[in-house]
Structure formats: C-alpha cells, structure tokens
Structure 1
Amino acid sequence: MADDLALRVATYKVLADYAKDRYDEARAQMAARMHNGDRLAAVDARGVKLAAVTKRDPKPEARITDMAKLRAWVATHYEDHLVSGIEVTGSDPEVHEVLIRHAPHLLREVQKVSPDLVRLITDASKKAGAPVGPGGEADVPGVTVQTSEGTVSCLPTDEALGVVVGMLQSGELDLFDVLPVGGDV
C-alpha cells in the first residue's frame, strides 16, 4: 500500500537535493565573477528585487601552529610571559594513585606561553596579515595567518517566492530549464 505522505517527503527530498546542487554550482560561478565584499541585487525583468547576493570579505585568521617554536621565540623576546606549569608524563591511573607526594618522577616542570600573550600575538597577526609579535616583531615562528576565500550567499526578500512563482506562470522562467525533465540527470 502506497503512503502518499512518504512519497511526498521522498519527492521533496530528491528535488531539494537537486536544487541544492544547482544552487551550489551557480554560487561557485558567481564567486568567480565577484570580488570579496561585493553585493549585488537579483532583480526580475520588471526590476523587482528577489534577493541580495553577497560575497563575504573574510578577515585574516591567526592561529598557533607550532607551540614549541613560539615558546622558543617567546623565551628570547618576551621571557616574562613564560609561565611555569606541570606536565604529567605518567598514565592517568598512575598519577591518580600516587600524585606528587608519592611519585614526583611522574611530573616535570615546563614553560608555557601565557594565554594573554598568545591572544596579543594572534590579534596583532590578524591585523598585520602576517605572523608578528605584539611589539611589531616580524616572522614570529609557530604562528600562521590565513585568509579564507570569500563565500557567496543569497538572502531572498520576503516577496521572492511569489515573484519566482509569477515568473514561472508568465513563462519568463521555464520550469524545464530548472528541473532535469527530459535531459540527463
């Protein structure tokens, strides 16, 4: 026995996946034509705005990619920002059982870069677009700065669905150009 609701769910899912693939293809084509930060209005033949199409203008992102290299650099340039800590070298069960009092050989003192300095370095590096120290020192080791490619997004207006339906009804937009009817899938 056929379940009409299940058939509708499946049909909408297939159409949604197909439409999403076409949307992603169109976004990739648009991304190649736009520059980061661009904003275009999508309008129909009468000049009615359907959506705003934008290409994001991402900012540089800085992250610590090699803490050992950064720690060595900080030891030379910002020694007062090294903080001591304890690194556990034994297994958790051993450490839980004996801890510092009974087995100090399972612990060793290490130096770590203070979180405040890490934040200062990553903030300065984002602004500079390159690995720099908080005092402007260049080529800070262990820090990577990358800027992502801008992505295209589309924000339809409240009227967009009605406008698209009207375009389909008037023949301005052909449903057979949108769906793979009679063509290769």
Structure 2
Amino acid sequence: MAVPNRGSLQPIALIVLAVALVAAALIGQARAAAESTPQLINVSLSVMPEYDQRSVLVSYRADLSPDVSLPLQTRLRLPADAEIAQVCSIIKRPEEEHLCQPYTVEPDGPYLALTWETITPTMYVEFYYGSISGVGQRSLDFTFIPPYPVQNLDLLVLEPMDATDFTLSPEPADIVEEQGFRHHTYSFQ
C-alpha cells in the first residue's frame, strides 16, 4: 500500500470524540429485530481523518444476512456535507469486484440520505465529509447510524500521519501499527 501524498499538511493535534456511540447502541437491535427485517451480519467501518485531503474519508462495508431477498432498497444516513465516492455491491470471486450502483441523495434533517439498490449480499460505500482546518488542537465527532440492525461491528480509526496528542473517546480496544499508520480498533457485538 502506497503512503498517500501528505502535501503541506502541518503537524496537528486531533481529538476524535463519540466515534461509535450510536453504532454501539444499535448493535443490540440485531438480536431484537423481527425475522422480516434485513440484518447486517458483519460491518467494517473505517474512519480516516486527513487521509489524502483535509476532510474525513469513511469506508463502510457490510454483509447482509443470507436470508435477505435481493435486490434490496437500502437507505444510509450520512453527514449532511458528505461527498459520495462509491456506492457498490461486491461480488466475491477469486478477486473482489465492485459493482457500483446508481444512487440518490436527499436532505434528511441534519443528515444526507443516500439510497440505492443492493444487488449482492455485500455492500460498500465510500465518502468524504467535513473539513479539518486550522492548526493546533481540533476535534471531530463521528456518528454512524446503520440502515439495519447489526450483529458485529468492527470500527477502525486511522490516526493522521502528522498528528500529535491524538486521542479517542471511548478508548480503542487495540492499536496496530502497520505500514507507517496507527490503526485504532474497536469491536462491538
């Protein structure tokens, strides 16, 4: 994996708060949901502040329960200023293939509602939002509202390469250093 061009980013101090509180609160819904409600078996969510630009890159990958009938109309609430990069269904062959889908967006209160048709059991959405500007200490709140009840959620927060005094709340379960990056990880069930 190539390290992205960091350009003229200055060293920063960044605090990320409330990373997964809504997601954690919604995990229990998977157990209580009716059989007819679609469920997400596994969700992998990556939050990458200042990964390749002064905004936050988020990737969302989810596996639907095997008993879900496809195609499935899916609606995901994103930050109001989200710029969508990909909305795809994934075919798992020897190598994964992303089948990007047409989508619509519309305001939804303080959010942006992204709607598309999921055609395979695995969905993938990638978007940028927010702008982290200025120098010195900054903070970022991230809220994830899953479209369906979730059984397992893995959350990764990538520490910006030039960050100093980087903290998360709640504390991550683990920190892994890989290819020059620090990955802060959480698992919710």
TM class by smaller structure? under 0.3
Structure-2-length-normalised TM-score: 0.21
Structure-1-length-normalised TM-score: 0.21
Structure with more strand by fraction? 2
